[in-house]
Chains A and B, each alone.
Chain A
Amino acid sequence: MSMFNAMNTTASALTAQRLRMDVISSNMANVDTTRATFENGEWQPYKRKSVVLKPEGEQFSSFLNIAMNRKGNAGEGVTVSRIIEDNETPGELLYDPEHPDANAEGYVELPNVDPLREMVDLMSATRSYEANVTVFNANKSMMMQALQIGRS
């Protein structure tokens, strides 16, 4: 069933890349959101989110199996381990005393989302998605070929 596993591997990557695109969309949509969370009596701006990817099938049990069977481990794809918020990068401060979320000096903290960076990430996610689709199609055509064995 090795071939079907390859399809699952690719499917996991498609899911992960799709989630990356969703998170990027969320970042872009909230590029001006100043009221994301309510903390200590004041509104906090939206924080940039990003996904953390981790290879599947690289756990201890997999390595133990390899050591016992002396067989190679091809891996089982990729998984999103968590979605992290970027609390390190400071948001841009905009002088706008009329704004309801302005502080005492009249400055509003904007989300730390950089649209340029998001676009670059989006391009990267799209390309990875397309590469995985190519692998999936190759795999599919190989399986279709295998079904032709014995048909003359």
Chain B
Amino acid sequence: MNLFAGTIQQLEQGLQYSSIKQKVIANNVANVDTPGYKSKGVSFQKMLQSEIQMSSNAIHKTDPRHFDLSVSGQSVSVSKRPYSVRENGNGVDMDKEMADLATNQIYYNSLIERISGKFGSLNSVIKGGPQ
């Protein structure tokens, strides 16, 4: 029996995505006054695909005709959004960056919460229930 059952790895992938996202937001906000700078984003789709692929080996199928969730996964990619909202060619939308920041923070904290919960239950199993 696999003790960790892949959950922790998946949460770790999520944390990795979230910290890269944080870095990208920090960079976008840092360059809010740089002429010609274009806002960057992290594509979650590709991240999600790689996560699905990780879990596809263990996915539970009730019928052999069910589709596999095997999608070709890629690592996290940072993409540029080539539009600009201001006269000097700068494409950073501050409202969007701040909203993204809040979302990312909550997402990160929830992942931390879950990973702690996982360790907590493992701990509980090891100790054999509440003392």
Chain A residues close to B by CB (< 8 Å): 2-3, 5-7, 9-10, 12-13, 16-17, 20, 53-55, 57, 70-78, 124-125, 128, 131-132, 134-135, 138-139, 141-142, 145-146, 148-152
Contacts and interface: CB of A to CB of B under 8 A. Distances in A.
A98 B73 CA distance: 78
B23 A151 contact: no
A149 B119 contact: yes
A73 B31 CA distance: 15
B69 interface: no
B119 A2 contact: no
B109 A142 contact: yes
Interface residues of B, number: 40
Given A74-B40, A131-B32, A145-B108, A139 B26 contact: yes
Interface string B5-47: 0000000000110111011111101111111010010100000
A58 B121 CA distance: 45
20 contacts: A2-B23, A7-B26, A9-B27, A10-B26, A10-B29, A16-B30, A53-B34, A55-B34, A70-B75, A71-B75, A74-B23, A75-B23, A125-B33, A131-B97, A132-B29, A138-B105, A141-B105, A149-B116, A151-B116, A152-B120
B123 interface: yes
Contacts of B35: 53
